[in-house]
Chains A and B, each alone.
Chain A
Amino acid sequence: AQKVTQAQTEISVVEKEDVTLDCVYETRDTTYYLFWYKQPPSGELVFLIRRNSFDEQNEISGRYSWNFQKSTSSFNFTITASQVVDSAVYFCALIPCGGSNYKLTFGKGTLLTVNP
């Protein structure tokens, strides 16, 4: 069974601050993918980034960056110079590439509020 834990329930920052969202996961599969999704108040889940279990290279894409550490089973997500439009619920999710390679397991989400 897979498990994703997002310990931060809510985070509030002021515009232009950097913010890091934490994610810890559990899986017995050796091959898996990790994702971050954004859910604005409108409700649609928007795919942001993904990382496979074999690639621990951290990347930056625009204002987004992510830190994948297999040794600690963590996949943290950072927004640099936050903006009001970043306000949303952010979900970390995992999918194994073994038997259940169709089912996304989500964390409970972190509500990010960016204040002007």
Chain B
Amino acid sequence: DTGVSQNPRHKITKRGQNVTFRCDPISEHNRLYWYRQTLGQGPEFLTYFQNEAQLEKSRLLSDRFSAERPKGSFSTLEIQRTEQGDSAMYLCASSPDNCGQPQHFGDGTRLSIL
């Protein structure tokens, strides 16, 4: 069990550019989640996968955001035409199927928009 891995750890980009983040979950976990955390706040849910199926998307996830989990393994989160308000920590988590199983988080990717 190597834990949830995210990369890059930090991303600095200019407004208007596209960015993509990657998450490798714990291998035996079927569920994968993306959260966003801004300064002084708790993480907020963005989206969730059960294996390769994206089952829920928050209204926080505008049409500039897209997430995929091909083959039910790693996941990518892409933000197109980045805006200043996209600056945040993007956290990935994974868990087994059963309700109440703790979600295990990666170190996150900190996005800064210049």
Contacts and interface: CB of A to CB of B under 8 A. Distances in A.
A64 interface: no
Contact of B107 (A42, A101, A103, A107): A42
Interface stretch (A11-19, A44-52, A65-73, A80-88): A44-52
A106 B42 contact: yes
A43 B100 contact: no
B56 A103 contact: yes
B100 A33 contact: yes
Contacts of B85: none
Given A43-B89, A91-B42, A93-B42, A104 B103 contact: yes
Contacts, number: 64
B-side binding surface: helix, strand, loop or mixed?
A: strand
A100 B108 CA distance: 23
B31 interface: yes
A109 B107 contact: no
Given A44-B106, A102-B55, A97 B100 contact: yes
B107 A43 contact: yes
A88 B85 CA distance: 25
Nearest to B48: A102
Interface in A21-56: 31, 33, 35, 37, 42-47, 50, 52
Given A43-B110, A93-B42, A107-B42, A102 B102 contact: no
Interface of A: 4, 31, 33, 35, 37, 42-47, 50, 52, 91, 93, 95-97, 100-109
Interface of B: 31, 33, 35, 40-45, 48, 50, 55-56, 89, 91, 93, 99-100, 102-108, 110
Across chains A and B, which 8 residue pairs bring their CB atoms closest together, nearest first? Answer: A106-B42, A33-B100, A45-B105, A97-B99, A101-B99, A47-B102, A103-B45, A44-B107
